[in-house]
Structure 1
Amino acid sequence: MNFSGLAAFPFTPFNEGVLDLVAFEKIIVRLLDSGVDSICALGSTGLYPYLNEHEYRHITRKTVELSGDTPVMVGIGALTTRDVLVKAETAQKAGVDALLLAPVSYHRLHDEEVYSLYETVCRQLSVPLCIYENPGVTGFEFSDELYKSLSALPNIAAIKIPGSPFADEKGHQRIKTLRALLPQNMAIGVSGDKFGVAGLAAGCDLWLSVLGGLFPHTVKTWITMIRDGHAQTAEAESERFSPMWDLFVKSKGGLRVMATAASILGISEEQNLPAPLKPLNVQDREVLQSFMLAHGLI
């Protein structure tokens, strides 16, 4: 798998507590029609911690089946190393091209525990793995020393860093530091869609995008602008999405926003999350729908 461009994170829809495979297929086809560089099913928006073993296997196989030549990456995070290994085996048997692993835990992890997790998992892999740093969810921040140690493990091919350093010029220095620290062939991905354009403009290889999981054409357009030397134009376009980013913050992430957007588009049912999760409230849904109409997303 080539870790570059847009890795789209599709939402995994439910209907009355059951996987909505019809809606999921519509989302994947939408991504394929837009020519995304890769699809990352079962990321945070993909609800990987909420799926049982059967549901996880079904979504993984369905994504690979539908995606054809488009590379597929799936999340394998779980509370125990044992369960991570089970997911890794399931995903590899399904034929995925890469894996995404966040250090998920109820109790906060120490560096040596996280290193042990990745070391154990990497010994069992036949496909590349992307380290997923998402401290807002996991409560764990990777030190540079830990990144350096992990980068020496087999099959570690990319890291996914938070977007917050790209809120200002510190992002360029962060990329410079990581490039000096990591092997030359290791890809650096940015997450946090508000900072995706700034991250790519600063030198990240890959945008792992929640927005791109439902609106891939928008994100691909911004990436093309950056590649063509028009980063400022892309940044201005991203700034126009401030109401969307504000909803991400207000709802504690992009999941509820994308779930609500999927129902507004008629792709899935309105109540499309597994309980106790709920989509946006009525007021925020109206804000989102008005924004989507104003920006040609409907």
Structure 2
Amino acid sequence: MLTGLSAFPLTPMNEQGIHEHEFTRLVTRLAEAEVDSIGVLGSTGNYAYLNSDERARVVKLSVESAAKVPVIAGIGALRTRDVLINAEHAQQAGASGVLLAPVSYQKLTDEEVFSLYETVCRSLSVPLCVYDNPGTTHFQFSDELHGRIAQLPQVRSIKIPPVQNDLTAAKARVAGLRALIPSDVTIGISGDAAAATGLLAGCDAWYSVIGGLYPDIALALTRAAQAGDTEQAMARSQALEPLWVLYRDYGGSLRVAATIAELTGKVSQPCLPQPLNTLQGEARERVKVVVETLL
């Protein structure tokens, strides 16, 4: 489950609520494409903007729509109390695993983060993926802390930030982390532009934003890398460079992915929680050109 392509769909919504039909349609498309897992309520799924009841509803809809594809549900929250509530809701809904980032307002210490994972693992009966995303949490994991957390009984994967776009350096990065974690804990790459390099460097999974909208494109890249076909995997990533440029220019993948979803009719407009907005004006036109010529 925590290998291969894990596709992360948007959670389309407005200020009145979640667009449930649109969301289930996105999840159904991923199931039909036979992705390896579906990651809901990650950063792309705007988990931080939803209350516990809304999150529970999203997981329930996901499991109902995913057929036999495993669902991994984000459970991060500011307070450990709320993380535990989210974890229980996810398990009750039938999620096959959970994804946990150390969400914070006050900067967390290493011991506080370890305690968070230790406490949550005691309440889990499903695997946990550690979500290492310093761009949103502003917490920097050391490999040593990853090594400690990875010894906890339910931890089965680590979702790492993008690796360098250099295969030799990326292999060293992955090997250094792998030496500190149990052999049954997988390493997954995030950051779509780094996916090919990360997978070829030894990562077991790609936790993918673009896979949530275009699973066939992401699967083709993933399968090429899994087969050790460096040339094809890198060529597929390079073909998507205009998309990666948009990610870099507009502060990450969320607004770009949401704009693509609106432009292609996959979701209605608006689809993000306020105060977030999809791209408009010249930026939207740039995304439209990429969609028409590339996707």
TM-score by length of 2: 0.97
- SS at 1:160's partner residue? strand
**Deviation of 1:148 (Å):** 1.4
Identity, % of aligned pairs?
A: 46
Question: How big is each residue's C-alpha offset from its partner over 1:243-278, in whole Å with a ceiling of 9 and x where there is no partner?
Answer: 211221222221111111111111211211111000
**Deviation of 1:229 (Å):** 3.1
Question: How big is each residue's C-alpha offset from its partner over 1:200-256, in whole Å with a ceiling of 9 and x where there is no partner?
Answer: 001100000001011111010111222333222221221222221122122222111
CA distance in 2, matches of 1:135, 1:36: 26
Amino acid at match of 2:194: F
Give the aligned length.
295
CA distance in 2, matches of 1:73, 1:227: 21
Partner of 2:196: 197
**Residue 38 (1) aligns with residue 37 (2):** yes
Is residue 111–residue 146 contact of structure 1 (8 Å, CA) maintained in 2? yes
Pairs within 5 Å for 1:71-110: 71-110=70-109
Amino acid at match of 2:39: C
**Deviation of 1:106 (Å):** 1.0
Pairs within 5 Å for 1:1-298: 2-167=1-166, 169-295=168-294, 297=295
Amino acid at match of 2:90: A
**Deviation of 1:16 (Å):** 4.8
- SS at 2:273's partner residue? coil
- SS at 2:78's partner residue? coil
Higher mean C-alpha deviation, range 79-88 or range 232-241: 232-241
Give the CA RMSD over aligned residues.
1.2
CA distance in 1, matches of 2:159, 2:240: 22
CA distance in 2, matches of 1:113, 1:165: 29
Amino acid at match of 1:39: I
**Deviation of 1:166 (Å):** 4.4
Amino acid at match of 1:149: R
- SS at 1:267's partner residue? coil
CA distance in 1, matches of 2:2, 2:184: 10
TM-score by length of 1: 0.96
**Deviation of 1:29 (Å):** 1.4
**Deviation of 1:151 (Å):** 1.4
Describe the shift of the 1:16–1:83 C-alpha distance in structure 2 as closer, same or farther (beyond 3 A): closer
**Deviation of 1:168 (Å):** 5.1
- Deviation beyond 6 Å, 4+ runs, structure 1: none
**Deviation of 1:94 (Å):** 0.6
CA distance in 1, matches of 2:45, 2:63: 15
Is residue 166–residue 172 contact of structure 1 (8 Å, CA) maintained in 2? no
Question: How big is each residue's C-alpha offset from its partner over 1:148-197, in whole Å with a ceiling of 9 and x where there is no partner?
Answer: 11111110111010113345531100111122111111100000000001
**Deviation of 1:54 (Å):** 2.0
Describe the shift of the 1:92–1:198 C-alpha distance in structure 2 as closer, same or farther (beyond 3 A): same
Amino acid at match of 2:44: T
Amino acid at match of 1:6: L
Amino acid at match of 1:254: S
In structure 2, stretches of 5+ residues that fail to align are none
Amino acid at match of 1:220: L
